[in-house]
Amino acid sequence: MKRDKNVCRSFCVALSFMSLLKHLHGVRGFLQCPVSRCGQRTFCTSSIGRPLMLSASSSNAASSTSSTSNSYVSFNHPRTNTELILIGCLHGSSSSAKDVSQLLHAKPTDVVVLELCPTRYKDLMKEMIRRKSSETQSKGSYIKMVAKTIEARGWSTGLAAAVLGGASSLSTSLSGFQPGFEFLTAMEYVESQGSECDVILADRMVDETLRRFGGLPSVSLDLFQSFLDSGLDWEQTYGKEAKVLKSAVSGNGEFNVDMGKALFRRTDVIIDLVRLTLPTFIFIEAANVMLGSILNSLDPIAPESISMGSLMVDLASSDWNSFAGDVIFELVSSALVLFLSFMFVVLPTSKVILSERDDQLTKGIEDACSFAAEKNTNGEGGRVVCVLGLLHVNGVARQILKS
């Protein structure tokens, strides 16, 4: 029964972790559909990262002072000399939307890169229209999304969409965050300006991410098979994913965002972080307590109450060698479970939602820099601003500078 309680607690913690992770890297549950815009050039990246032109436009940039220390990295693209800014966002937060607005208005921007696929972009365009007309979103959109995903992509992808979408909806409802707020800010900036500014959608199709997430057991087995085929070479298999995850959180070079500093850099960011995490943790802990109470009621040998006095008597009369052995066994078994969870769950998940998408985003940003350089024939290279999830900034920056 104690093991059942630990399983319930682990499930609740995992759900909370997925909820937070969604806001840091931005996996979303939407179906693929075409993009169509009038007056603005909007591009998306294909599965191999090449841009496809979908529509033609314009935009003016005003100047503004940025106060977004530690939330972004800025450097010149090595090949095109384009000024490149990678903004790390806590998805849906007002503080990240503020960062995006400040950096876009600081200087004229040639290309805005969004961590979106055409599906999500079209959905946010509808949201822009709703905001202007004060319409509200349908309450049944989540159920419809899951049903359509199952119909189009099968049960595994539909289950992944349901889990990720459910965690997202829970955290959004409790925190009051507005999904895609930072992207809406960037889109409204482009929409409202008068000089030329193009948009590139750099993320891979969301149904592909959901398919990969739904096939996570297969990804885990493939990674383990690679580990065995390499002669148990950790560095060439699991070590690579571990380095990506570590770099995403803490960075490892000059052009990197430290998540700890980024999440506590300003008062409004801290408030957003508390709004995101505290209600969710309280809700999940309450659910965990309820589950524990139910399991206790089903346990016929569960004691009704344990007093401190009786506990001290039991300890005093117990065999200390046996007690120490039990403690050591619990510690070793817990450490083993944590390691296996890290190896077979955390690292494969990191591969699907971080490493693979970092590769896709990097290709889109490389194309954006080339496009900005072509627009600026004076040799200055132009300016590209990228709106990304906080966990993607370091991996993308590392790949661009390495290439």
pLDDT at 110 over 70: yes
What residues are paired with 87 via a beta bridge? 72, 387
Span 383-399, pLDDT tens digits:
999 999 999 999 999 99
Q: Give the residue-averaged pLDDT of 138-163.
A: 66
Among the ranges given (68-77, 247-256, 394-403), the one the predictor scored with the smallest mean pLDDT: 247-256
> Which one of 132-136, 262-266, 313-317 scores highest in mean pLDDT?
262-266
Tell me which residue of 386, 23, 383, 390 sits closest to 181, measured CA to CA: 23
pLDDT at 87: 96
Q: Give the residue-averaged pLDDT of 204-232.
A: 91
High-pLDDT (> 90) share of the chain, %? 37
Q: What is the DSSP letter of 346?
A: I
pLDDT at 50: 42
Residue the block writes with tokens 């529509």: 55
CB environment 373-397: b (16+ within 10 A), e (fewer): beeeeeeebbbbbbbbbbbbbbbbb
Predicted confidence band of residue 169 (pLDDT cuts 50, 70, 90): low
Question: What pTM was computed for the model?
Answer: 0.72
pLDDT at 251: 78
